[in-house]
Amino acid sequence: MVDRFELGREFFAQLEQEDEKIAREVAAGVCQKCERGALHRSDYSRKPRGGLIAPGGEGSVRRFSLCCDQEGCRKRATPPSLRFLGRRVYLGAVVTVASMLARVIANATELRQVTGVPVRTTRRWLGWWGGPFVSTSVFVAVCARLVGVAVSRHGELADTGAGAAVLGNPARCVAWLANKLASFGAGLKAGDIILPGAVHRMIGVAPGDVFQAEFDHLGTVTARFAGTEDTP
Ligand SMILES: [Zn+2]
């Protein structure tokens, strides 16, 4: 049995403050569609559900939103939010917590009693986390930043690193390279292999050295250097 879990009003008040900051940051830029319009506040009301997990976050809530001021464009720009997860009627925190609970509570009746969310809804969310979510640009970027590597020399750990060590995200190196090559009139072709740069410190190599780099989820690369340490 899992204890009842409740997110209170203060929690959502903090998320609202963060949402306000995000909205101000987005509003400081220009419209992404016409690339010149200023963005004006155009908030609207939403009535999110909290189930039994977040009754304090329910009620009428302002969804911070922006609108381009250019005649003929008027495109709406809704900044990312910590309170809402897309257009889901339940609060984002409820979707997250109920999904986690669904992983540990197998009994449908118990799950419903703890979350207050219909079980078929929770199951649909689990399908989303395991399917469409993993191909979202946000998730792909986070994975690339966090992919870890352990480098060993002769089986002894020499250093560790993470993808974020290369310009914050290895994909940025690929973008940089593509732009640089374009400035020389060249480009990248399908099938090209790109080395985005090391994510660990430089390590000296001697003849006969064997290095192994183990990448989280990706696999292992082994490099052997010719010769022995006795024969230069
Ligand atoms: Zn516009």
CA of 63 to the centre of ligand 1 (A): 20
Per-residue pLDDT of 116-159, as tens digits, reads 999 999 999 999 999 999 999 889 888 889 999 999 999 999 99
CA of 76 to the centre of ligand 1 (A): 8
102 within 8 A of 111, measured Cβ to Cβ? yes
Tokens of 77: 């720009």
- Count of other CB atoms within 10 angstroms of residue 131: 9
pLDDT-derived band at 232 (thresholds 50, 70, 90) equals: very low
CA of 67 to the centre of ligand 1 (A): 8
What DSSP string describes 107-156? Answer: -HHHHHHHH-S-HHHHHHHHHHHHTGGGGSHHHHHHHHHH-EEEEEETTE
Output the 3-class SS for 97-110: HHHHHHHHCCCHHH
Exposure string for 162-185, b = 16+ CB within 10 A, e = fewer? ebebbeebbbebbeebeeeeeeee
CA of 25 to the centre of ligand 1 (A): 17
CA of 66 to the centre of ligand 1 (A): 11
Rounded to two decimals, the pTM is: 0.71
- At 223, the amino acid letter reads A
Mean pLDDT value of segment 169-185: 92
Question: Which helix (H) or strand (E) is 173 found in, with range?
Answer: helix 170-183
Which of the 8 DSSP states describes residue 85?
A: -
- Count of other CB atoms within 10 angstroms of residue 29: 12
Q: Which residue has the tokens 């809804």?
A: 121
Q: Does 60 have pLDDT greater than 90?
A: no
Q: Calculate the average pLDDT of the chain.
A: 92
15 within 8 A of 22, measured Cβ to Cβ? no
CA of 69 to the centre of ligand 1 (A): 7
CA of 65 to the centre of ligand 1 (A): 14
In percent, how much of the chain has pLDDT > 90? 78
CA of 75 to the centre of ligand 1 (A): 5
Q: What is the pLDDT of residue 137?
A: 87
CA of 29 to the centre of ligand 1 (A): 11
CA of 5 to the centre of ligand 1 (A): 43
Per-residue pLDDT of 104-117, as tens digits, reads 999 999 999 999 99
CA of 138 to the centre of ligand 1 (A): 24
CA of 135 to the centre of ligand 1 (A): 28
Q: What is the pLDDT of residue 85?
A: 93
